[in-house]
Amino acid sequence: MNSAGGRSEREAVDVVVVGAGFGGLAALRKFRDELGLSVRLLEAASGPGGVWYWNRYPGARCDVESLQYTFGFSDELSQEWCWTERFAPQAEILGYLNHVVERFDLAKDIQFNTRLTSAAFDEQKCRWSLETEPGDQYEARYLIMATGPLSTPYTPEFPGAGEFQGEIYHTGLWPDHPVEFKDKRVAIIGTGSSGVQVATAISDQVAHLYVMQRTAHHCVPAENRPLHPGEQEAVKNRYGELRAAWRATPGATAWRSLPTDEVVVTYDKSALEVSEGERRETFERAWTYGGTAIHRAYTDLLTSEQASLLANEFIREKIASIVKDPVTAELLTPRQYYGTKRLILEGGYYDMFNQPNVTLVDVRSDPIEQLTPTGVKTRDANYDVDVVVFATGYDALTGTLTRIDIRGRTGLVLRDVWRDGPTSYLGIMVAGFPNLFIVAGPQSPSVLANVIVANEYQVDWISDAVRHLESHGIETMEPSPEAQIAWAEHVAELGRNSIYTKGNSWYWGSNIDDKPKVFLPYINFPNYAAKCNEVASAGYQGFILALRAEDVSQGDNIP
Ligand code: NA7
pLDDT (tens digit, 9 = 90+) per residue, 486-515?
999 999 999 999 999 999 999 999 999 999
Distance from residue 368's CA to the centre of ligand 1 (Å):
15
Cα Rg, the chain, nearest whole Å: 24
SS3 string of 251-309? Answer: CCCCCCCCCCCCCCCCCCCCCCCCCHHHHHHHHHHHHHHCHHHHHHCCCCCCCCHHHHH
Distance of CA 466 to the CA centre of its chain: 25
**Which tops the pLDDT comparison, 167 or 257?**
167
Q: Is the dihedral of CA 420, 508, 252, 489 positive or negative?
A: negative
Model pLDDT, residue 549: 73
Instruction: DSSP for 420-449, please give it.
Output: TS---BTTTB-TT-TTEEESS-TTSSGGGS
User: Is-cis flag, bond preceding 326, omega within 30?
Assistant: no
Cβ 391 vs Cβ 194: under 8 Å: yes
| Section 204-227 average pLDDT | 98
| Section 258-282 average pLDDT | 90
Model pLDDT, residue 258: 77
Query: What does the longest C-alpha to C-alpha distance in the chain come to?
Result: 79
Alpha carbons 120 and 118: distance in angstroms, whole number: 7
Alpha carbons 191 and 22: distance in angstroms, whole number: 26
Query: Ramachandran region of residue 132, left (φ > 0), alpha (ψ -120 to 50) or beta?
Result: beta
Q: What are phi and psi of 405, to 5 degrees?
A: -80, 90
Which of 317, 349, 291, 304 minimizes the C-alpha distance to 498?
Answer: 304
Contacts 24+ apart (CB under 8 A), 260-267: 260/234, 264/289, 264/293, 265/289, 265/293, 265/294, 265/296, 265/297, 267/296, 267/297, 267/298, 267/299
Model pLDDT, residue 259: 76
Model pLDDT, residue 200: 98
Binding site membership of 196 for ligand 1 (Cβ less than 6 Å):
no
The residue whose CB lies within 8 Å of the most ligand 1 atoms, and thus the one to mutate among 22, 194, 295, 388, is: 194
Binding site membership of 156 for ligand 1 (Cβ less than 6 Å):
yes
What residue type is assigned to position 315 of the chain?
Answer: I
Model pLDDT, residue 7: 65
Binding site membership of 450 for ligand 1 (Cβ less than 6 Å):
no
Other Cβ atoms less than 10 A from the Cβ of 167: the count is 16
| Section 122-136 average pLDDT | 96
pLDDT (tens digit, 9 = 90+) per residue, 294-307?
999 999 999 999 99
Which of 20, 19, 22 minimizes the C-alpha distance to 447?
Answer: 22
Alpha carbons 388 and 212: distance in angstroms, whole number: 10
Contacts 24+ apart (CB under 8 A), 325-332: 325/353, 325/354, 328/353, 328/360, 329/353, 331/213, 331/216, 331/360, 331/362, 332/213, 332/216, 332/360
Alpha carbons 28 and 244: distance in angstroms, whole number: 24
Distance from residue 190's CA to the centre of ligand 1 (Å):
5
| Section 208-212 average pLDDT | 98
Alpha carbons 83 and 395: distance in angstroms, whole number: 31
Alpha carbons 548 and 544: distance in angstroms, whole number: 13
User: Of ligand 1's atoms, which has the minimum distance to the CA of residue 217?
Assistant: 37
Which of 392, 398, 338 minimizes the C-alpha distance to 518?
Answer: 398
| pLDDT category of residue 219 using cuts at 50, 70 and 90 | very high
Distance from residue 291's CA to the centre of ligand 1 (Å):
20
Model pLDDT, residue 559: 40
Cβ 28 vs Cβ 41: under 8 Å: yes
Binding site membership of 511 for ligand 1 (Cβ less than 6 Å):
yes
Cβ 233 vs Cβ 260: under 8 Å: no
Model pLDDT, residue 264: 86
The residue whose CB lies within 8 Å of the most ligand 1 atoms, and thus the one to mutate among 193, 253, 345, 376, is: 193
Is a pLDDT exceeding 70 seen at residue 552? no
Is a pLDDT exceeding 60 seen at residue 539? yes
What percent of the chain clears pLDDT 90, i.e. is strictly above it?
93
Is a pLDDT exceeding 80 seen at residue 287? yes
Alpha carbons 265 and 279: distance in angstroms, whole number: 11
Contacts of residue 327, defined as CB under 8 A and 6 or more positions apart, other chains included, come to none
Is a pLDDT exceeding 80 seen at residue 66? yes
Model pLDDT, residue 8: 64
What percent of the chain clears pLDDT 70, i.e. is strictly above it?
97
> Which H/E stretch holds residue 351?
helix 349-352
Query: Ramachandran region of residue 546, left (φ > 0), alpha (ψ -120 to 50) or beta?
Result: beta
Whole-prediction pTM value? 0.96
Residue having the nearest C-alpha atom to atom 38 of ligand 1: 511
Which of 238, 49, 31, 57 minimizes the C-alpha distance to 141?
Answer: 31
> Which H/E stretch holds residue 137?
strand 137-145
Is a pLDDT exceeding 80 seen at residue 550? no
Which of 155, 154, 156, 163 minimizes the C-alpha distance to 371?
Answer: 163
Which of 146, 135, 151, 198 minimizes the C-alpha distance to 28?
Answer: 146
Binding site membership of 171 for ligand 1 (Cβ less than 6 Å):
yes
Binding site membership of 150 for ligand 1 (Cβ less than 6 Å):
yes
Distance from residue 393's CA to the centre of ligand 1 (Å):
4
For the chain, what is the mean pLDDT? 95
Q: Is the dihedral of CA 537, 539, 545, 548 positive or negative?
A: positive
Is a pLDDT exceeding 60 seen at residue 71? yes
| pLDDT category of residue 554 using cuts at 50, 70 and 90 | very low
How far apart, in Å, are the Cα atoms of 447 and each of 49, 64, 212, 342, 475? Answer: 17, 11, 25, 9, 32
| Section 44-52 average pLDDT | 98
Binding site membership of 500 for ligand 1 (Cβ less than 6 Å):
no
pLDDT (tens digit, 9 = 90+) per residue, 450-486?
999 999 999 999 999 999 999 999 999 999 999 999 9
Alpha carbons 378 and 392: distance in angstroms, whole number: 16
